């Protein structure tokens, strides 16, 4: 596996709040866990081989209930109730970062990413990738639009999804100690420790 991308030093040292697109991290996620021949391939992310995921580093600290938020996943198209100009402005910002509006945006805390170990970093990226889902029909089959493109959606964590991260990184990496069945098998990729939150679901991400 190629060395994981590092956030730029100017971002870590700067006082100004910034969000910096990182095509390196996007490429790394593909070669590390998404692609068929990825070094740590996880078939749970197979649908994302068709997805355009924009990654951002940020030096903006975030927290919830006193715990640090280190990552967040969302749909690329700005969501929520917005006026017409506010929505167009938000989309213009996203296009400025990525050239187009990606299917998903994953934001990573640059300070955390600069300091954490490789296993924690992988667990965090995979946690956020688990939020990037494809809609399913009532029979559980993946849904596509009339152009044959997947219909993307945000996914919460059901037990099954958490088992995936726990299986790969151990309960320590995710803070989901009650999922002992997966944890008892031992992590496939060891060495991660817990403690920080995902901003999308509010759960421990790494």
Q: Which residues bind Zn ion (CB under 5 A)?
A: 198, 200-201
Find the shortest distance in angstroms from Cβ 157 to Zn ion: 6
Find the shortest distance in angstroms from Cβ 62 to Zn ion: 13
Which C-beta is closer to Zn ion: that of 111 or that of 200?
200
**Would you say 135 and 142 are in contact if contact means Cβ atoms under 8 Å apart?**
yes
Find the shortest distance in angstroms from Cβ 145 to Zn ion: 26
Helix axes 118-130, 159-169, angle to 10 degrees: 160
Residue nearest to Zn ion (CB): 198
Q: Provide the CA 100 distance to its chain's centre, in angstroms.
A: 19
Which C-beta is closer to Zn ion: that of 122 or that of 201?
201
Which C-beta is closer to Zn ion: that of 49 or that of 64?
64
Which C-beta is closer to Zn ion: that of 68 or that of 87?
68
Q: Rounded to whole angstroms, how far apart are CA atoms 151 and 139? A: 15
Spell 144-168 as b/e; 16+ CB within 10 A means b.
eeeeeebebeebebeeebbbbbbbb
């Amino acid at each position: 596996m190629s060395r994981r991308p590092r956030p730029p030093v100017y971002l870590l040292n700067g006082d100004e709040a910034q969000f910096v697109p990182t095509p390196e991290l996007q490429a790394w996620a593909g070669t590390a866990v998404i692609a068929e021949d990825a070094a740590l391939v996880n078939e749970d992310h197979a649908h994302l081989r068709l997805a355009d995921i924009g990654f951002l580093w940020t030096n903006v600290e975030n927290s919830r209930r006193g715990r640090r938020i280190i990552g967040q996943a969302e749909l690329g198209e700005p969501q929520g109730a917005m006026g017409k100009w506010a929505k167009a402005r938000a989309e213009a910002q996203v296009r400025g970062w990525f050239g187009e509006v990606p299917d998903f945006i994953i934001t990573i805390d640059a300070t955390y990413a600069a300091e954490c170990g490789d296993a924690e970093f992988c667990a965090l990226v995979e946690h956020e990738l688990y939020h990037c889902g494809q809609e399913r029909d009532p029979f559980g089959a993946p849904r596509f639009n009339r152009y044959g493109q997947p219909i993307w959606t945000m996914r919460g964590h059901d037990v099954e999804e958490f088992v995936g991260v726990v299986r790969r990184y151990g309960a320590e990496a995710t803070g989901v100690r009650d999922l002992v069945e997966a944890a008892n098998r031992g992590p496939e990729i060891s060495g991660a420790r817990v403690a920080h939150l995902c901003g999308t679901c509010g759960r421990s991400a790494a």
